Amino acid sequence: MDFEQTWSIISSAFQEIRTKNASRLSYEELYRHAYRVVLRKKGEDLYNRVCDSEHVWLSGNVLPSIRALIAPNLVADLESPEGMTTSERRVVGERFLKGLRQAWGDHQVCQSMLADVLMYMDRVYCQDHRRPSIYATAMILFRDDVLDSRISDLYDRSILDLLNSVILGQIQMERAGDVIDKHLIKSCVYMLDGLHASKLESEDQRLYNVSFEQAYLQTSREFYRQEAQLLLAESDAGGYCRSAHRRIYEEEDRCKSTLMESTMPKIQNVVEEELISNRLREVVEMESGVRFMIDNDRIDELSLVYDLNSRVDDKKTELTQAIQKRIVEMGTDISNAAIVASQAPAPVSAPPADGDKGKGAMPEKSLNQQTAAALRWVEDVLQLKDKFDRIWRDAFQSDNTLQSAITRSFGDFINSPNFPRSSEYISLFIDENMKKGIKGKTELEVDAVLDKAIILLRYIQDRDLFERYYKKHLCRRLLMNKSISNEVEKQMISKMKMDLGNNFTTKLEAMFKDMTISEELTSGFKRHIEGLGQKDPKRIELSINVLTSMTWPLETMGSSDDTEGKRPHANFPPAIDRLRRGFEKYYNDKHSGRRLTWLAQMGSADIKAVFPRVPQKDGSFKERRHDLNVSTFGMIVLLLFNDLPSDQYLTFEEIQAQTNIPQPDLIRNLQSLAVAPKTRILVKEPMSKDVKPTDKFFFNEGFNGKFVKIKVGVVSSGNKVENDRERRETEKKNDDSRGFCIEAAIVRIMKQRKELPHQQLVLETLSQLVNQFKPEVGMIKKRIESLIEREYLERIDGASIDSYRYLA
Instruction: Point out which residues bind another protein (CB under 8 A).
Output: 22-29, 31-32, 35, 109, 113, 116-117, 119-120, 123
Cβ nearer to another protein, comparing 116 with 300: 116
Minimal distance in Å, beta carbon 53 to another protein?
Answer: 19
Minimal distance in Å, beta carbon 149 to another protein?
Answer: 28
Among the listed residues 666, 510, 498, 636, the one whose alpha carbon sits nearest the alpha carbon of residue 576: 636
Distance between CA atoms of 186 and 258, rounded to whole angstroms? 5
Among the listed residues 281, 263, 273, the one whose alpha carbon sits nearest the alpha carbon of residue 193: 263
Cβ nearer to another protein, comparing 54 with 77: 54
Phi, psi of 71 (to 5 degrees): -70, 145
Minimal distance in Å, beta carbon 120 to another protein?
Answer: 7
271 within 8 A of 188, measured Cβ to Cβ: no
Distance between CA atoms of 532 and 769, rounded to whole angstroms? 54
Minimal distance in Å, beta carbon 28 to another protein?
Answer: 5
Cβ nearer to another protein, comparing 116 with 178: 116
Q: Is 135 helix (H, G, I), strand (E, B) or coil?
A: helix
Cβ nearer to another protein, comparing 40 with 325: 40
Minimal distance in Å, beta carbon 57 to another protein?
Answer: 18
Cβ nearer to another protein, comparing 59 with 102: 102
**Amino acid present at 324:** Q
Cβ nearer to another protein, comparing 34 with 97: 34
Cβ nearer to another protein, comparing 28 with 701: 28
Distance between CA atoms of 91 and 293, rounded to whole angstroms? 44
Cβ nearer to another protein, comparing 122 with 665: 122
620 within 8 A of 645, measured Cβ to Cβ: no
Minimal distance in Å, beta carbon 301 to another protein?
Answer: 55
Distance between CA atoms of 409 and 416, rounded to whole angstroms? 10
Minimal distance in Å, beta carbon 27 to another protein?
Answer: 4
Distance between CA atoms of 379 and 105, rounded to whole angstroms? 73
Cβ nearer to another protein, comparing 21 with 257: 21
User: Which residues, 6 or more positions from 127, have their beta carbon under 8 angstroms from its beta carbon?
Assistant: none
Cβ nearer to another protein, comparing 24 with 706: 24
Cα 635 to chain centroid, rounded:
53
- CA distances to 350, 648, 697 from 686, rounded to whole Å, are 21, 15, 9
Minimal distance in Å, beta carbon 1 to another protein?
Answer: 13
Q: What is the 3-state secondary structure (H, E, C) of 700-724?
A: CCCCCCCCCEEECCCCCCCCCCCCH
Minimal distance in Å, beta carbon 26 to another protein?
Answer: 5
Minimal distance in Å, beta carbon 131 to another protein?
Answer: 19
Q: Is 355 exposed, middle or buried (0-12, 13-18, 19+ CB in 10 A)?
A: exposed
Distance between CA atoms of 418 and 237, rounded to whole angstroms? 33
Q: Is 600 helix (H, G, I), strand (E, B) or coil?
A: helix
Distance between CA atoms of 591 and 585, rounded to whole angstroms? 10
Minimal distance in Å, beta carbon 112 to another protein?
Answer: 8
Phi, psi of 136 (to 5 degrees): -60, -40
Cβ nearer to another protein, comparing 120 with 377: 120
Minimal distance in Å, beta carbon 52 to another protein?
Answer: 23
Distance between CA atoms of 562 and 707, rounded to whole angstroms? 37
782 within 8 A of 762, measured Cβ to Cβ: no
Minimal distance in Å, beta carbon 263 to another protein?
Answer: 31
Minimal distance in Å, beta carbon 30 to another protein?
Answer: 8
Cβ nearer to another protein, comparing 24 with 732: 24
Cβ nearer to another protein, comparing 105 with 345: 105
End-to-end CA distance of the chain, in Å?
Answer: 116
Cβ nearer to another protein, comparing 17 with 673: 17
Backbone conformation region of residue 628, classed left if phi is above 0, alpha if psi is from -120 to 50, else beta:
beta
Minimal distance in Å, beta carbon 17 to another protein?
Answer: 8
Distance between CA atoms of 240 and 392, rounded to whole angstroms? 21
Cβ nearer to another protein, comparing 118 with 493: 118
**Rg of the chain (C-alpha set):** 47
**Which residues make beta-bridge pairs with 626?**
609
Minimal distance in Å, beta carbon 289 to another protein?
Answer: 60
Q: Is 171 helix (H, G, I), strand (E, B) or coil?
A: helix
- For residue 691, the 8-state DSSP code is -
Distance between CA atoms of 663 and 692, rounded to whole angstroms? 11
Cβ nearer to another protein, comparing 29 with 201: 29
Among the listed residues 463, 533, 472, 511, the one whose alpha carbon sits nearest the alpha carbon of residue 718: 472
Distance between CA atoms of 444 and 88, rounded to whole angstroms? 71
Backbone conformation region of residue 353, classed left if phi is above 0, alpha if psi is from -120 to 50, else beta:
left
User: Which residues, 6 or more positions from 502, have their beta carbon under 8 angstroms from its beta carbon?
Assistant: none
